[in-house]
Amino acid sequence: MRHAACLSLIGTVAALTGCGGHANQFAPPNSSQTYAFASPDLVPRRGQFPPTPSGVHLNLVFNYDVKNVRSEIGVIDVVWGASAPSPKQIYNQFYTPFERDGPYGGPSGGHTLAWWKRHHPDWIEYRCDRKTVAYEFGDANVPIDTANPAVQAYQRTGAVDPALAAGYPGIAFDNLDLGNYAHRCGHFTASGQWVQQYTGRFVDPRFTSYVLEWAKSTFAYIHAHSTTATMAINFSYDGDFNEALNDQLATETDEDLDESGFTNWGTKGQNVTTPQEWRDIVGLILAVQANKGCYMDNGEEPGLSKDITQAERLWVVANYLLIRDDCTYVWISGFTKSGAQDYGRILLYPEYKLAIGAPTGAAVSVNGAWQRAYSGGLALVNPSDDSVTVPLHRTYVDENGKRYSQSITLEATTGEVLLKQ
């Protein structure tokens, strides 16, 4: 089990109690593996973020296509990668990549490869053939050696310090991973000598150690800037690494944006988690919440945003309601016609307005599914590969007005939100 000091298992109920005052959390049945969860040196600044006491609270991923940012007021709580630090009613985070150059202050930016070869050829990261620049995701921004203290200083003076001075309350770093997904291998010195840092393989203990050390030192740097400055990272559970390493990275920050979420980055045909993936994600969320960090559940779905089905939306929202505490946000989006992620604009769905109210207890496991009581209804999730029937103790209606009095059957890997009639 996880976090033995805080985890209480009672029958089918797995409620996390006595951890920072957040009793409405839960853990699913887990493997027999145990380990000591080492909390980071710094306590996350949960109190700086908009509270999420009831209902559904939204995190907008970028807002570069929002013509009037004041339209976000009363609708959006947090903007991951805001174009400006205002309006102050929104928690606007400044976006910058974790280990590639720019953008520092906009949706595009950074220096060209030619500029880097002229000014800092020893900062450019290559693959093991010593010829191929280790670009990420086809991104033209140059990968730089952020394990180098001089590069870290460049990153901080070029992005962190100016953004905080401009009024952004927090910095959002993109694309952290325990694995070497860009197959970085090393760099050349200014005199042209090769320096090999990593094996180039995805699983590389030295690379993982570097990422964890970067997160720890950057977390400390931002907290030292002021008593209110915060750090966020984009990191999703990676099954190639053990739970302890995943938890360690997810807790070296004030807030974790889980871009994969429960929809596997919107991968077509795989946009729901397997049962094991679901357990891993929930375990990571527990680690973040037990450490008093904030969590952002990104629900990316395949296809156009306007074509996301009700069932897909309910899967995201029901999972959000199941795992949420008082600093948890969610977002749903699809892709554009060109295949790009449909970020940067406000997309609102009817599930955000369901009158579910506030949670009244922890989640409980019922016949392999999970349910959580709210003042206005029930959140239900079946993460298993089989259909599950859940008994009901009063009459509810679903989003479409269908009545359920004695039980409800959830198909495999589905979610449902029921409202009290």
pLDDT one-digit tens code per residue, 203-217: 999 999 999 999 999
pLDDT one-digit tens code per residue, 159-184: 999 999 999 999 999 999 999 999 99
Residue range 263-292: average pLDDT? 97
Residue 403 predicted with pLDDT over 70: yes
Residue 41: per-residue pLDDT? 76
Residue 131: CB atoms within 10 Å: 7
Confidence band, pLDDT 50/70/90 cuts, at residue 421: confident
Taking the C-alpha atoms of residue 384 and residue 399, their distance in angstroms, rounded to an integer, is 22
CA angle 72, 78, 83 (to 5 degrees): 70
Residue 110: per-residue pLDDT? 77
Confidence band, pLDDT 50/70/90 cuts, at residue 138: confident
Query: No. of H helices and E strands in the chain?
Result: 7, 21
Residue 27 predicted with pLDDT over 90: no
**Quick check: helix, strand or coil at residue 96?**
strand
Residue 106 predicted with pLDDT over 50: no
Residue 111: per-residue pLDDT? 87
Residue range 143-157: average pLDDT? 94
User: Percent of the chain having pLDDT more than 70?
Assistant: 89
Q: Quick one: how far is CA 107 from the chain centroid?
A: 20
Residue 200: per-residue pLDDT? 98
Residue 25 predicted with pLDDT over 80: no
Residue 105 predicted with pLDDT over 50: no
Instruction: Give the pair of three-digit tokens for residue 329.
Output: 């946000």
CB distance 172 to 128 below 8 Å: no
Confidence band, pLDDT 50/70/90 cuts, at residue 373: very high
Residue 246: per-residue pLDDT? 98
Residue 402: CB atoms within 10 Å: 10
Residue 26: per-residue pLDDT? 56
User: Percent of the chain having pLDDT more than 90?
Assistant: 86
Residue 405 predicted with pLDDT over 80: yes
Q: Are strands 170-174 and 25-26 parallel, antiparallel or unpaired?
A: unpaired
Taking the C-alpha atoms of residue 79 and residue 58, their distance in angstroms, rounded to an integer, is 9
- Type and span of the H or E element at 211: helix 205-225
What are residue 334's phi and psi, to 5 degrees? Answer: -120, -140
Residue 140: per-residue pLDDT? 83
Radius of gyration of the chain (CA): 22
CB distance 169 to 91 below 8 Å: yes
Q: Which domains does the chain have, with CATH numbers?
A: 43-353 (3.20.20.70), 357-421 (2.60.40.1180)
Residue range 93-118: average pLDDT? 80
Residue 109: per-residue pLDDT? 62
Mean pLDDT computed over every residue of the chain: 90
Residue 160: per-residue pLDDT? 94
Four-CA torsion 72, 74, 79, 82, nearest 10 degrees: 40
pLDDT one-digit tens code per residue, 29-53: 333 333 344 556 789 999 999 999 9
Residue range 53-65: average pLDDT? 97
